[in-house]
Amino acid sequence: MPVSAWEIPAAWLLNLALLTARMTALTVFSPLPGAAAAPPQTRVALALLLAALLAPSARFGLGPAELAAPAAVWLVGRAALAELVLGAGLGLALRLLLEAFSLAAQTLGFQAGYSYVNMVDPTTQVDASILNVALALLANLLFFAFDLHLHLIRILAESLTAHPLGTFATQPGDANAFIVLGAMMFDSAVRLALPVVALLLLVDLTLGLLNQAQPRMQLLTLAFPMKIVAGVAALYPVLPQSPRVFYQLAERSFELLTALLGR
């Protein structure tokens, strides 16, 4: 069947819609600061902006010939699902990168007693400990301070070259990549939290020995403020190391994403 002239702009608009679907899934699943409180129109506008910026480097996988085929509806549905999966995967990888600090903060807050003071996390819009909110905001600031948002846009542009719109297909090894990302997240969280947790364990042992030596002492009333002070003292030398830990995690994460999307 001959391809008419009106199908050419229709194919272009369809591929632009597929690109917007990839960007929309990315913005929905990525933990952008304040994104949970933002109206849906803001996320759609951000997705359209990213799609407009990356459209010149996009390779269209569906042309007029594919749209004229009898199975055009199935091809379009499969292409849209593939773009949503790819965008969601990139957003999930970004979330795993930033959740390392949140995991470390949850561990420290539970051990040091900071979990008693809660506030609304601007990223997730849920109640979280004050230390969790502080470290989550620190991770977001480091993300922009290291220009990782520019690296993310570069990876998105490279993914459009490696995987033209509508042609992405999952592979058996893709799940292993996210398992590795999760392992790196836990490793970074442990590296941040372990020194403070070790000091708090020594405080608990000291309080236990004091309780054995002086059973009449009201150690329960002393333990809470002592652990809070010890946690603050331990965070003082640990926090300056957090940018280095975050950058190492981000570097390995982006290398893994580049290898995954460049296959």
Q: In this structure, is residue 2 part of a structural domain?
A: no
pLDDT band for position 7 (cuts 50, 70, 90): very low
Helix (H, G, I), strand (E, B) or coil at 127: strand
Identify the domain containing residue 142 by its residue range. Answer: 7-261
Q: In this structure, is residue 61 part of a structural domain?
A: yes
Buried b (16+ CB within 10 A) or exposed e, 68-89: eeeeeeebbeebbebbbbbbbb
Per-residue pLDDT reduced to its tens digit, 19-29: 888 888 888 87
Higher pLDDT, 260 or 124: 260
On the question of pLDDT at 3 being above 60, the answer is no
Whole-number pLDDT of residue 144: 86
Q: In this structure, is residue 19 part of a structural domain?
A: yes
On the question of pLDDT at 149 being above 50, the answer is yes
On the question of pLDDT at 75 being above 80, the answer is no
pLDDT band for position 5 (cuts 50, 70, 90): very low
On the question of pLDDT at 138 being above 60, the answer is yes
The count of other CB atoms within 10 Å of the CB of residue 215 is: 8
Whole-number pLDDT of residue 1: 42
Per-residue pLDDT reduced to its tens digit, 199-235: 888 888 888 887 777 777 777 777 778 888 888 888 8
Q: In this structure, is residue 246 part of a structural domain?
A: yes
- Mean pLDDT over 52-57 rounds to 78
Q: In this structure, is residue 68 part of a structural domain?
A: yes
The count of other CB atoms within 10 Å of the CB of residue 170 is: 11
Judging by beta carbons within 10 Å of its beta carbon (0-12, 13-18, 19+), is residue 209 exposed, middle or buried?
exposed
Number of structural domains the chain divides into:
1
Q: In this structure, is residue 77 part of a structural domain?
A: yes
Whole-number pLDDT of residue 6: 44
Q: In this structure, is residue 221 part of a structural domain?
A: yes
Q: In this structure, is residue 1 part of a structural domain?
A: no
Structure-token pair, residue 63: 């042309």
Whole-number pLDDT of residue 8: 47
